[in-house]
């Protein structure tokens, strides 16, 4: 899939609309169109990376910054005390449906474990 065909690349390039929640160098957060919780953001690298399994050692700084970015977004939304869930579905069998790496940041309700 080329970046021009990738839904989340097109959102990153502002070719498709999204409710942007924040951005920083190489990362973008926007609201999930089908939220599963009162807070449901998607965090993506602006670089096209199909799945988490495609991350190389060169991506380690980006992945670390993703966690810091998620923590900041969660704090800004008042989730710092109650807690939140940060999820990556890696591959079709794990439930990944959009093949551009994304992290789900979910909060504002209670969650069960295991997720099912
Ligand atoms: P996953 O199943 O982990 O690949 O998650 C894909 C997520 O992308 C789902 O939660 C969808 O609701 C969400 N999604 C799909 N299209 C859009 C879109 N255009 N804008 C925002 N979220 C989207």
**CA distance readout (Å), 19 to 11, 31, 48, 83, 101:** 10, 5, 20, 23, 18
pLDDT digits (tens, 9 = 90+) for 54-64: 999 999 999 99
Ligand 1 binding pocket, CB closer than 6 Å: 7, 18, 32-34, 42, 89, 95-98
Q: Is the pTM of this model over 0.85?
A: yes
Q: How far apart are CA 103 and CA 88, in angstroms?
A: 5
For ligand 1, mutation pick of 1, 49, 98, 104 (most atoms within 8 Å of CB): 98
Domain 7-107 of CATH type 3.30.428.10: yes
pLDDT of residue 92: 98
* Residue ranges of domains in the chain: 7-107
102 in catalytic set: yes
Q: Using 50, 70 and 90 to split pLDDT, how confident is the model at 115? A: confident
Q: How far apart are CA 2 and CA 110, in angstroms?
A: 38
For ligand 1, mutation pick of 17, 36, 42, 94 (most atoms within 8 Å of CB): 42
Q: Is the Cβ–Cβ distance between 52 and 114 less than 8 Å?
A: no
């Amino acid at each position: 899939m080329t970046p021009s065909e990738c839904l989340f690349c097109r959102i990153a390039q502002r070719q498709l609309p999204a409710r942007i929640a924040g951005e920083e160098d190489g990362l973008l957060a926007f609201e999930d169109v089908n939220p599963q919780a009162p807070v449901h953001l998607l965090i993506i690298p602006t670089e096209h990376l199909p799945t988490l399994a495609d991350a190389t050692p060169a991506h380690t700084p980006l992945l670390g910054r993703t966690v810091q970015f998620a923590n900041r977004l969660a704090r800004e939304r008042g989730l710092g005390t109650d807690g939140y869930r940060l999820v990556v579905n890696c591959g079709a069998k794990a439930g990944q449906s959009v093949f551009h790496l994304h992290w789900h940041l979910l909060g504002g309700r209670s969650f069960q474990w295991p997720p099912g």
